């Protein structure tokens, strides 16, 4: 069989390429040819149209909306989350082959369009919602990383008052006038001022981009304009991330409804270019501004005040919960919810939650790497090799470095990473460590407040993961040995 596949995930860093490698290995092992397009952070090198035309079946292992799906019209399709592509690549390949044998795909000349002979499997409401939200998150994350790190560098170079220097306000009894003309920032606030302005500009786009690309995931390109405008309105009225989520879903729903209207052939172009964007922007903007915006803004304000009021045991419990979430699915949706909660708190001025989230996210690869060194006989040669890379991945806050271990032994590895993440998050909150950057791992240690406490949290979480996974694997190994002894005695 000739197969083609597309893999993608919200961050486009690890899962995307791990799924591609797993599918390639599974297909080759089964005696088939496969070409994989990775729609990752580095962009996508599109599949050759000839390969698509000649393919017997298509595989999607994606947590975000696959771009240009129309290319695969008419092909038998197996679709699933990117983690299934990593953990169950053999099954996905087998399903694709079975579909191709049951309904052979037409093989027209390259460049022609195949008739629709097989449809993508229908997703449930929950799966659709997750796909739409992850699409928005995937397009937002580059703004988070670039903007957050630029702002953090601005504070590092220009001091804690740099925000007031650029945008005006009072700091430690000194009142600063806002710099009215951005072209004067370099002269009046220096290089740190430029970093602050650029980082703040990128950060200001988080909610509009999130809303726009949630709508894009639902309604394709026509959803972008209403979604972005809805997100801008959410920012203007103080509705924050919650407003962005609502605006994106609302924009997608409005545009999907408008696309159901089928005018005559002569009016279809006007509908796409003028009517749908115009009506969509007005309806979404009006509803956000007049109907739902204020209640959402009130909820966002309450959440911000609640975070600011956390202290003592409550803060530690929050760190415990977020840390466990970071260690649960290792870069998946639950992990992303905790991470975005930290980013939202960072944008609201709470720096402790982001520190706890990053410490917890670094722990799973580091703890498993340490365990593979301390008790190497508990791990396969492949896992020990993955452990060498996990040191760097964990230190760089790439939680996905733990996936090779979790894929091989999820029942023992995932509880261990959750324990370690929870310990790291709780200890970080207890020490009130802070972080001004949304990413970076040890490479942004200069931007960590109370870095000693952060380091203690990191070491404690790493040790907890290491000890937990060693204990669970040792127990499992002992049980297996006991079962083998009983089997020998029975014989």
Is 227 part of a structural domain of the chain? no
Is 50 part of a structural domain of the chain? yes
For residue 38, what is the enclosing H or E element? Answer: strand 33-38
Q: Which domain holds residue 36?
A: 2-102
Give me the average pLDDT of each 10-residue run along the chain (491 residues).
88 77 91 88 76 90 81 87 86 91 59 44 70 81 79 80 85 84 91 91 88 90 92 86 87 92 76 88 93 80 67 81 88 77 78 91 93 89 83 84 79 92 94 84 82 93 94 76 57 62
Q: Which residue shows structure tokens 């795909």?
A: 105
Q: Which residue shows structure tokens 């149209």?
A: 49
Is 84 part of a structural domain of the chain? yes
pLDDT value of residue 303:
67
pLDDT value of residue 120:
45
On whether the CB atoms of residues 181 and 193 are closer than 8 A, the answer is no
Query: Measured between alpha carbons, how far is 361 from 390 in angstroms, rounded to an integer?
Result: 12
Query: Measured between alpha carbons, how far is 5 from 363 in angstroms, rounded to an integer?
Result: 32
Number of domains in the chain: 1
Is 65 part of a structural domain of the chain? yes
What separation, in Å, do the N-terminal and C-terminal C-alpha atoms of the chain show? 44
Is 68 part of a structural domain of the chain? yes
Task: Check which CATH number belongs to the domain holding 46 and give it.
Answer: 3.40.50.2300
Could you tell me which residues are beta bridge partners of residue 435? 448
Give the pTM.
0.67
User: Strand, helix or coil at 200?
Assistant: helix
Query: Is 466 part of the annotated catalytic residue set?
Result: no
The candidate with the shortest Cα–Cα distance to 82, out of 176, 6, 175, 187, is 6
Q: What is the DSSP string of 292-316?
A: IHHHHHHHHHHHHHHHHH--HHHHH
pLDDT value of residue 117:
44
Is 169 part of a structural domain of the chain? no
Query: Measured between alpha carbons, how far is 392 from 401 in angstroms, rounded to an integer?
Result: 9
Is 87 part of a structural domain of the chain? yes
Query: Measured between alpha carbons, how far is 238 from 295 in angstroms, rounded to an integer?
Result: 10
Q: Which residue shows structure tokens 């975070």?
A: 307
CB 68: neighbour CB atoms within 10 A?
12
- Which candidate in 9, 41, 131, 224 is catalytic? 9
Is 6 part of a structural domain of the chain? yes
């Amino acid at each position: 069989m000739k197969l083609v596949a597309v893999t993608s995930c919200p961050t486009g860093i690890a899962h995307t390429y791990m799924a591609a490698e797993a599918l390639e290995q599974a297909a080759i092992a089964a005696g088939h040819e496969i070409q994989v397009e990775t729609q990752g952070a580095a962009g996508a090198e599109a599949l050759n149209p000839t390969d698509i035309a000649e393919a017997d079946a298509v595989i999607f292992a994606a947590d975000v909306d696959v771009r240009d799906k129309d290319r695969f019209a008419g092909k038998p399709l197996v679709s699933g989350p990117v983690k299934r592509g990593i953990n169950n690549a053999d099954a996905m390949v087998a399903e694709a082959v079975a579909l191709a044998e049951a309904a052979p795909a037409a093989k027209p000349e390259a460049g022609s369009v195949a008739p629709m002979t097989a449809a993508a499997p229908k997703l449930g409401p929950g799966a659709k919602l997750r796909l739409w939200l992850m699409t928005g998150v995937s397009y937002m994350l580059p703004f988070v990383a670039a903007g957050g790190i630029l702002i953090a560098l601005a504070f590092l170079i220009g001091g804690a008052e740099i925000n007031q220097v650029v945008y005006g306000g009072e700091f430690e009894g000194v009142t600063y006038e806002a710099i009215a003309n951005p072209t004067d920032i370099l002269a009046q606030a220096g290089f740190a001022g430029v970093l602050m302005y650029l980082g703040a500009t990128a950060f200001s786009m988080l909610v509009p981009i999130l809303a726009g690309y949630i709508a894009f995931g639902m309604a394709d390109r026509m959803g972008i304009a209403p979604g972005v405008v809805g997100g801008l309105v959410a920012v203007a009225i103080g509705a924050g991330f919650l407003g962005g989520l609502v605006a994106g879903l609302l924009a997608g729903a409005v545009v999907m409804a408008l696309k159901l209207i089928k005018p005559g052939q002569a009016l279809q172009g006007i509908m796409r270019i003028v009517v749908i964007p115009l009506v969509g922007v007005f309806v979404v903007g009006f509803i956000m501004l007049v109907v739902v915006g204020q209640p959402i803004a009130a909820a966002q304000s309450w959440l911000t005040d609640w975070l600011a009021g956390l202290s003592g045991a409550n803060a530690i419990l929050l760190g415990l919960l977020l840390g466990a979430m970071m260690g649960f699915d290792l870069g998946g949706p639950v992990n992303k919810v905790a991470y975005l909660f930290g980013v939202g708190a960072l944008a609201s001025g709470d720096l402790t939650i982001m520190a706890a989230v990053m410490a917890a996210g670094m722990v799973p690869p580091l703890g498993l790497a340490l365990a593979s060194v301390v008790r190497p006989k508990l791990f396969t040669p492949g896992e020990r090799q993955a452990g060498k890379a996990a040191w760097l991945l964990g230190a760089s806050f790439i939680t996905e470095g733990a996936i090779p271990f979790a894929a091989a032994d999820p029942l023992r590895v995932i509880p261990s990473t959750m324990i370690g993440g929870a310990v790291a998050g709780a200890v970080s909150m207890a020490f009130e460590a802070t972080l001004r950057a949304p990413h970076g791992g040890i490479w942004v240690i200069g931007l960590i407040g109370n870095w000693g406490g952060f380091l203690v949290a990191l070491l404690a979480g790493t040790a907890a993961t290491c000890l937990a996974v060693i204990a669970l694997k040792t127990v499992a190994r002992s049980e297996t040995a006991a079962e083998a002894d009983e089997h020998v005695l029975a014989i």
